[in-house]
């Protein structure tokens, strides 16, 4: 089903402004545009980016959400520079505002987008910049597309949920997952890498349904998980805990795409192989079962398009702590300790 598309009904832009200036301009845009009277925002979404190019990608993903999660969105661009420089033309905030309208059920509902370029020491006190834009009675979600905050980052004091991407934050993966575990003890964390792994997890669980395949779960001999650092460690940690394995039975290997293969033996001594993999560049995932003196089955799943927006939509839908993700984090740390 096609999502209704938003149209822009008001804009404002200025350099070297105060947060009060931006708030007043946003109020004026809504006041002077009759269609903006009905706000549809279900959350305040704050995306913190490190460059204008990253901010443009973030804005494209947010726009691709369409009507699923209309929000007041702040895209913060942190400009690198000398943190000790005195206040002047090179410090402060440049702002751009948009009010978007969405035709839904015969009426226009509106939501706002704010882009803030933050220079100088202010970028280390984003809580004071973000706080005034938080809508009352809806959650404030902080999204860091390619980094993690420090545990003491004041921005966490105003956040109700944190969205990260362990794959993008660090190719090394392990340290990022350890830091994510620390953050998850403070507030709910959603990892887009974990959400992107949902098809693999679902297909893998489906391979063990039924009276023929289920007994193999009690006789897992070996598990191999391949992929980029963060995703393979999360999947490995999840399987370690769910299957109650020792680290010696689980092998993690680098690869361009994710795959999971489980070798197991049933109570009758028959050997079985259960695999879910993306075999190459085409956006398909294959699941395969091969059982000695038993069935050989194979299925192909077409991966969805617009995946960045769909992953973000899944992250914004989650409420509270994700217990399966936190279990995967704990398992990943156990695997790292055993390596």
Q: Give per-residue pLDDT as tens, 204-247.
A: 999 999 999 999 999 999 999 999 988 999 999 999 999 999 99
pLDDT interval class at 37 (50, 70, 90): low
Q: Pick the more confident residue, 295 or 264.
A: 264
Model pLDDT for residues 167-188, shown as the tens digit of each residue: 888 655 558 899 999 999 999 9
Per DSSP, helices labelled H in 185-294 are 192-196, 198-207, 229-242
Q: Which residues of 237-254 are buried (b: 16+ CB within 10 A; e: fewer)?
A: bbbbbbbebebeebebee
Highest average pLDDT, of 62-66, 147-151, 158-162, 278-282, comes from 158-162
Model pLDDT for residues 87-142, shown as the tens digit of each residue: 444 458 999 999 887 776 666 667 889 999 999 888 888 999 999 999 999 999 99
pLDDT at 105: 66
Give the closest residue to 301 by CA, choosing from 210, 165, 207, 167.
Answer: 207
The edge-to-edge listing of strands for the beta sheet with 284-291 is 250-254, 220-227, 259-265, 271-277, 284-291, 296-302
Cα dist from 267 to 46, 72, 275, 297, 322, whole Å? 52, 56, 20, 21, 34
Q: Is the pLDDT of residue 32 over 80?
A: no
Per DSSP, helices labelled H in the chain are 19-32, 52-64, 126-130, 166-169, 174-184, 192-196, 198-207, 229-242, 307-317, 323-338
Query: Which residues lie below 8 Å from residue 254, measured CB to CB, with a gap of 6+?
Result: 226, 227, 228, 229, 232
Q: Is the pLDDT of residue 49 over 70?
A: yes
Residue pair 218/246 in contact (Cβ under 8 Å)? The answer is: no
Mean local confidence (pLDDT), 298-309: 84
pLDDT at 335: 93
pLDDT at 334: 93
pLDDT interval class at 86 (50, 70, 90): very low
pLDDT interval class at 85 (50, 70, 90): very low
Other CB atoms within a 10 A radius of the CB of residue 105 amount to 6
pLDDT at 282: 87
Give domain limits for the chain. 7-159, 196-302
Other CB atoms within a 10 A radius of the CB of residue 9 amount to 17
pLDDT at 107: 66
Query: Which residues lie below 8 Å from residue 313, measured CB to CB, with a gap of 6+?
Result: 65, 68, 69
Q: Is the pLDDT of residue 82 over 90?
A: no
Lowest mean pLDDT among 24-28, 237-241, 304-308: 304-308
- Judged on CB neighbours under 10 Å (0-12, 13-18, 19+), 256 is exposed
Lowest mean pLDDT among 52-61, 254-263, 281-290, 299-308: 299-308
User: Angle 203-207-212 (CA atoms, 0-180°, nearest 5)?
Assistant: 165
Percent of the chain with pLDDT over 70: 88
* Whole-number average pLDDT of the chain: 87
d(CA 9, CA 210) in angstroms, rounded, equals: 55
Q: Is the pLDDT of residue 254 over 90?
A: yes
pLDDT interval class at 66 (50, 70, 90): low
Cα dist from 165 to 159, 215, 325, whole Å? 17, 35, 13
């Amino acid at each position: 089903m096609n999502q209704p598309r938003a149209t822009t009904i008001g804009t404002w832009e200025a350099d070297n402004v105060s947060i009060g200036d931006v708030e007043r301009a946003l109020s004026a845009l809504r006041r002077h545009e009759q269609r903006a009277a009905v706000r549809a925002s279900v959350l305040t979404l704050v995306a913190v980016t490190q460059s204008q190019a990253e901010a443009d990608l973030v804005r494209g993903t947010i726009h691709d959400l369409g009507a699923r999660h209309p929000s007041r969105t702040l895209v913060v661009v942190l400009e690198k520079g000398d943190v000790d420089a005195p206040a002047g033309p090179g410090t402060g905030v440049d702002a751009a505002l948009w009010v978007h309208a969405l035709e839904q059920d015969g009426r226009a509902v509106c939501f706002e987008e704010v882009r803030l370029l933050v220079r100088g020491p202010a970028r280390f006190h984003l809580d004071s910049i973000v706080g005034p834009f938080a809508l009352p009675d809806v959650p404030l979600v902080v999204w860091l597309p390619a980094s993690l905050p420090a545990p003491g980052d004041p921005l966490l004091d105003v956040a109700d949920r944190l969205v990260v991407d362990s794959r993008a934050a660090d190719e090394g993966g392990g340290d990022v997952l350890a830091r994510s575990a620390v953050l998850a003890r403070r507030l709910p964390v959603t990892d887009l890498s974990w959400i992107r792994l949902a098809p693999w997890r679902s297909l893998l669980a489906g391979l063990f349904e039924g009276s023929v395949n289920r007994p193999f779960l009690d006789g897992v001999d070996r598990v191999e998980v391949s992929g980029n650092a963060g995703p393979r460690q999360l999947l490995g940690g999840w399987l370690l805990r769910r299957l109650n394995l020792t680290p010696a039975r689980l092998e993690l290997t680098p690869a361009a795409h994710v795959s999971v293969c489980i070798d197991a033996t049933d109570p009758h001594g028959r050997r079985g192989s259960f695999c879910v993999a993306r075999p190459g560049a085409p956006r398909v995932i294959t699941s395969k079962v091969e059982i000695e003196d038993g069935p050989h089955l194979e299925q192909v799943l077409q991966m969805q398009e617009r995946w960045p927006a769909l992953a973000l939509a899944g992250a914004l839908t989650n409420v509270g702590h994700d217990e399966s993700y936190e279990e995967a984090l704990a398992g990943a740390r156990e695997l790292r300790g055993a390596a």
